[in-house]
């Protein structure tokens, strides 16, 4: 019997389902909120298109104190998570997180919206993220199209960050900055939260979760249909022989969670980086008793508050 258009072709719950007619149902991360002034943190945000070609935007955040100060602030360029499938830069979870972080750290943040799989398979997310960073950096001389970036950003103090798939993107964009220099920008460090890296050979206690390993590999293959598999350098950059050689910064903070299956890759990333000959400093922060991206679902818990403070401290320590 021929399948009907309403039948599920790929069930990637709890992220999404793909139907026979091509329709995609996102099960999480579809809610959005508008930018504006957040009364709790006094952080203001607005959306600006960075690519006319793809109609993609960034959400820019500035702390309320910035308009009364002549001092320029460090910049955080943030890539959201969601397995390359769900969430956007305009999700309430990211709005809440970045409002809190910008207020705590006294920084400017640019949250990048990128095209998502499976409609736009890998490498679309990486391509968009690089385009966004180039657009942001074009403001370094104060003559860019967006006045907040012209006025408030210290381009000598730039950081990249993201969670899960966004942390994966942040790593690869940092590598790209060492190979394709962007005029006027000094990338000081990267902050990777629960990074989505994988590989054929299990690390740590991953071997105890064969069913989970299969799910994670399936998520990656759906996002990247032409991939060579779990040792594709995009999902497993850690085992690449040149790992660390082209990381375009000198400071790395990796945040992991005790009950997250991806934590072993986070620790492995840092261990390999230390032993790679990379000339920089690396820190790890592990949240006890927590699961993957807990800080987004429980932003007021003590571990989430501690994470915000740690990231703020990390960025302010690195001021040039």
Which residue from 115, 58, 126 is spatially nearest to 85, judged by alpha carbons? 115
138 is annotated as an active-site residue: no
Cβ-based neighbours of 11, under 8 Å, separated by 6 or more = 17
Q: Which pair of tokens denotes residue 318?
A: 């690195």
List the catalytic residue out of 51, 138, 161, 164. 164
| Strands lying side by side in the sheet with 16-19 | 8-12, 16-19, 24-26
For residue 272 the two structure tokens come to 């390999």
Token duo for residue 212: 């989970």
Distances (CA, A) of 124 to 36, 84, 127, 220, 298: 28, 10, 5, 14, 30
Calpha distance 149→139 (Å, rounded): 6
CA distance 266 to 255: 7
Given a contact cutoff of 8 angstroms between Cβ atoms, the answer to whether 118 and 229 are in contact is no
Residue with token string 């309320």: 64
CA 276 vs CA 242, 252, 269, 280, 312: distances in Å: 8, 14, 10, 10, 27
Is 206:213 a contact under the CB 8 Å cutoff?
A: yes
Q: Give the catalytic positions in this structure.
A: 164
């Amino acid at each position: 019997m021929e399948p009907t258009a309403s039948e599920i072709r790929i069930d990637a719950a709890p992220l999404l389902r793909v139907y026979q007619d091509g329709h995609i149902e996102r099960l999480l991360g579809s809610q959005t909120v508008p930018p504006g002034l957040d009364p709790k943190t006094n952080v203001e945000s607005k959306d600006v298109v960075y690519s006319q070609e793809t109609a993609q935007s960034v959400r820019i955040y500035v702390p309320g104190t910035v308009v009364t100060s002549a001092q320029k602030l460090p910049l955080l360029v943030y890539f959201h998570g969601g397995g390359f499938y769900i969430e956007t830069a305009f999700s309430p979870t990211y709005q809440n997180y970045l409002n809190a972080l910008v207020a705590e750290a006294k920084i400017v943040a640019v949250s990048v919206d990128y095209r998502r799989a499976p409609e736009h398979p890998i490498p679309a997310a990486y391509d968009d993220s690089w385009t966004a960073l180039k657009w942001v950096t074009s403001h370094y001389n104060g003559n860019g199209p967006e006045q907040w970036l012209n006025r408030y950003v210290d381009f000598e103090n730039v950081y990249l960050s993201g969670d899960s798939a966004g942390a994966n993107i942040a790593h690869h964009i940092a590598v790209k900055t060492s190979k394709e220099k962007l005029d006027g920008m000094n990338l000081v460090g990267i902050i990777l939260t629960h990074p989505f890296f994988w590989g054929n050979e299990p690390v740590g206690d991953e071997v105890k979760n064969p069913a989970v390993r299969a799910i994670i590999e399936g998520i990656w293959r759906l996002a990247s249909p032409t991939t060579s598999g779990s040792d594709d350098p995009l999902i497993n950059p850690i085992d690449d022989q040149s790992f660390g050689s082209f990381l375009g910064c000198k400071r790395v903070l990796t945040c992991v969670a005790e009950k997250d299956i991806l934590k072993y890759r986070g620790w492995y990333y840092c261990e390999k980086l230390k032993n790679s000959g990379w000339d920089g400093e690396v820190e790890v922060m592990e949240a006890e008793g927590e699961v993957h991206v807990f800080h987004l679902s429980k932003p007021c818990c003590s571990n989430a508050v501690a994470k915000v403070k740690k990231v703020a401290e990390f960025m302010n320590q690195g001021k040039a």
